Structure 1
Amino acid sequence: MYILFEGIDRVGKSTQIERVSTFFDEVIVTKEPGGTKLGQQIRSLILHENPPSSLAELFLFLADRAEHFAKVIIPNRNKLILSDRGYISGMAYALSKNILDEKKLFELNHIAMQGEYPDKIILFEISEEELLRRIDRFTKDNIEQRGVAYLLQVQKIMKKLVISSKIPYLLINASDEMDIITKTIVSFIKDSNGN
């Protein structure tokens, strides 16, 4: 089962993936970008080097996704895969910059993912106040430097994409207590009925 954890920076996805993974056997923990050797190089280019143009950034994310699906997702579909980000993020960030329309972005992602989609999506949402509090505690990468308003716009697009995906999903309030969030996610993953 392939579970996609989505949300903007600083919502607690990585922390919850680490916590949730302890409840299951044979878990593959991965991320986009950066879940493969090539992906690690792409992640560094996008987040820490001189920022590429918007269109180049889109294709770098797609290259990472294609490699990730070929090397990690598809070969491990018989296991539980917990992925920190995926195509929802990729589309949301691209849509926020008006690079391509939603239909074209969906087509490109469909190709990169070889037609394979998550079985469930978990979307973390955060308020402006909480995001400001969390983001000020860390050095900002290239995407975080675009500002809180930009990140909240991306979050709004992510929610729209998740709801319209027709994939079972769970909305998480990132401000909730960590143990409650973990318990809710574990129950969602174990629930065979989905959303």
Structure 2
Amino acid sequence: MRGLFVTFEGGDGAGKTTQSSRLADWLTEQGRTVVFGREPGGTELGQAIRELLLHGDHVAPRAEALLYAADRAHNVATRVRPALERGDVVVQDRYLDSSVAYQGAGRVLDGQQVRDLSLWASEGLLPDLTVLLDLPADALTHRLAHRGGFDRLESEAADFHERVRAGYLALAAAEPERFLVLDATRAVDELAAEIRERVAALLAD
């Protein structure tokens, strides 16, 4: 069996953790070996970087992009590539598209430069499928308020999150074969079923 790399993207509060966990559980039930992770924070080094990025003091935009890339380089080298080479399925909450959307569009850095940095860090590894859970910024703010507590990025102003959303949608439009864009306001079970259907088709190819 060949490996498969599936990533979940979207704004904070869009449901990435819920849907990625559901997919990982379903794949396990199907007899697949699943490596489940997140960025930042999928490794011990990444957890330290995550703490700096999400719960530390101000980080300059370019330094922020470099820290995410450092986390990604280590995560891909030590967890993702070895798993794919074993034929496992890697399901991950966030990957390089997050950097392009958040640091590129959100921080108003050059999106292509941010993408190139991530591709260099990951040695060119792209997901087989990226599930984009699209949620309007006002709905996102409402969900985060009910969840309680905001990290450094979640607490950014509404226009930041609007830019991030627009950045994601632009990425999906540029690579429609890789992205599955779903309305994150739909029922959780409906979304999970559609994601399973797409992943099952990829595994069958």
Q: Secondary structure at the match of 2:155?
A: helix
After the TM superposition, which residues 34-45 of structure 1 pair with which residues of structure 2 at under 5 Å, given as runs?
34-45=41-52
Aligned sequence identity (%):
28
Aligned alpha-carbon RMSD (Å)? 1.6
Report the counterpart of residue 115 of structure 1 in structure 2. Answer: 124
Shift of 1:166: 5.5
8 A contact 2:34–2:88 mirrored in 1? yes
Task: Name segments (4+ residues, structure 1) moved above 3 Å.
Answer: none
Letter in 2 for 1:88: D
Give ranges in structure 2 of 5+ residues lacking alignment.
none
Q: Of the candidates 44, 48, 60, which is equivalent to residue 55 of structure 2?
A: 48
Query: TM-score, with normalisation over the residues of structure 2?
Result: 0.89
After the TM superposition, which residues 49-64 of structure 1 pair with which residues of structure 2 at under 5 Å, given as runs?
49-64=56-71
Q: Secondary structure at the match of 1:23?
A: helix
- Across the two proteins, how many residue pairs are aligned to each other? 193
Letter in 2 for 1:148: A
Question: 1 CA distance for matches of 2:41 and 2:136?
Answer: 27
Question: 2 CA distance for matches of 1:33 and 1:165?
Answer: 23
Report the counterpart of residue 163 of structure 1 in structure 2. Answer: 173
Report the counterpart of residue 22 of structure 1 in structure 2. Answer: 25
Question: 1 CA distance for matches of 2:122 and 2:131?
Answer: 19
Shift of 1:112: 0.5
Query: TM-score, with normalisation over the residues of structure 1?
Result: 0.93
Give ranges in structure 1 of 5+ residues lacking alignment.
none
After the TM superposition, which residues 145-160 of structure 1 pair with which residues of structure 2 at under 5 Å, given as runs?
145-160=155-170
After the TM superposition, which residues 37-186 of structure 1 pair with which residues of structure 2 at under 5 Å, given as runs?
37-77=44-84, 78-96=87-105, 97-99=107-109, 101-137=110-146, 138-165=148-175, 167-186=177-196
